[in-house]
Copies of this chain bind each other. A is one copy, B any other.
Amino acid sequence: MTIKDLAIKTGYAVGTVSRALNGHPNVSEKARTAILAAAQECGFQLNQNAKQLKQIHSTNILLVVKGTRNDLFAEMIEAIQGLVAETPYQLAVDYMDEDSNEVLRALRLIPEKKPLGILFLGGNTGNFAENFAAIDVPCVLVTSDASQLPFENLSSVTIDDRQAACEALELLISLGHRHIAVIGGDPAISDTSRLRMDGCLDAFRSRGIPFDPEKSYRAVRYSYQGGYEAAQDLLSQGRSFTAIFAAADVIAIGAIRALAEQGLKVPEDVSVMGVDGLPLGSYLVPRLATVRQNVRDLAKRSLQVLLAAIEDSAPARHEIVPYAIVQRESIRQK
């Protein structure tokens, strides 16, 4: 079943059928209803291969997701899908490995999807600095800051990771903790990890608390196992800390497990705080204290910025959206 068949069936020409199906103007009401009805009847669907092959500009917005096993991104994707559904655009989601180059990936996808704009969920500014120049459609980098990059078509929407980490640490400090271990990502690899680590250092410095990264910082993958192993390692040096700050909720969960295996209770013996605000955290016992990224907000602002760039040729913007310090059962006064 092709539009040619539909044309024969309805008595119109393929051009008219195509226009009707795509909601173009210059189609009589009569033709439109007849064609749409016929299409409906046979469950007809345009062949996307042919469509995208021919189209100059698609009506696609491309969502490039870096990291397939990331609960925060999963939530965000759902939110973005919901929002895009209310627009005349189509969302094409592309999942990629956490350690491949998202910009190069986008570059290969562009001639195929011909997107009007691209949303990057996660990304490394280094990759952008190196390869983004070849991309000429409006883009938004979500969850990282691109304001330092010299690209006129690259916006960004993120929380202030550095300040968020700093504020989380300040909460722990204000609860009386002085010896705080930090488990995060590798600051050499991920911008976010570096910023969150810097935020921690800011807090220690401003409060005049000494912090030796060598002894109290561990760089791991954002995973349960990463948090688990890091906490084990920290504990193997003797428990000098009364609190752990984890740069992600999943890390915190792994760390809590490691503590439990040493007979340490949360929060009685050690306070633990994460980042992200995953739904899971509020079901754990104890509920996990965290820095919540407002998923809906992040999604909404990102799409708004992108659509403004696409529809109104608005210049690039670099937005900081608010986060929320969520004080819950896993932390307490020392």
Contact = CB atoms under 8 A, between A and B. Distances in A.
Copies of the chain in the assembly: 2
A52 B254 CA distance: 44
Contact of A253 (B93, B224, B228, B280): B280
Given A74-B68, A78-B68, A280-B224, A47 B285 contact: no
Contact of A224 (B48, B266, B279): B279
A224 B53 contact: no
Q: What class of interface size applies to chain A in its complex with B?
A: 20 to 34
A225 B260 CA distance: 25
Contacts of A49: 48-50, 52-53, 112
Instruction: Kindly name the residue among A49, A224, A260, A280 whose own CB sees the greatest number of chain B CB atoms within 10 A.
Output: A49
B111 A47 contact: yes
Interface string A297-334: 00000000000000000000000000000000000000
Given A285-B256, A285-B257, A78 B69 contact: yes
A24 interface: no
Interface in A107-147: 108, 111-112
Output the residue of A53, A93, A256 with the most chain B CB within 10 A.
A53
A69 to B, nearest CB: 6
Nearest to A53: B49
B112 A48 contact: yes
A76 to B, nearest CB: 12
The 6 closest A-B pairs by CB, nearest first: A49-B53, A257-B283, A260-B285, A224-B283, A49-B49, A49-B52
Given A43-B108, A224-B279, A280-B280, 16 more contacts: A47-B111, A47-B112, A48-B112, A49-B52, A49-B53, A49-B112, A50-B53, A53-B53, A68-B78, A93-B95, A224-B280, A228-B283, A256-B285, A257-B284, A284-B284, A285-B285
19 contacts: A47-B111, A47-B112, A48-B49, A48-B112, A49-B49, A49-B50, A49-B53, A49-B112, A69-B78, A93-B95, A253-B280, A253-B283, A254-B283, A256-B285, A257-B283, A257-B284, A260-B285, A284-B284, A285-B285
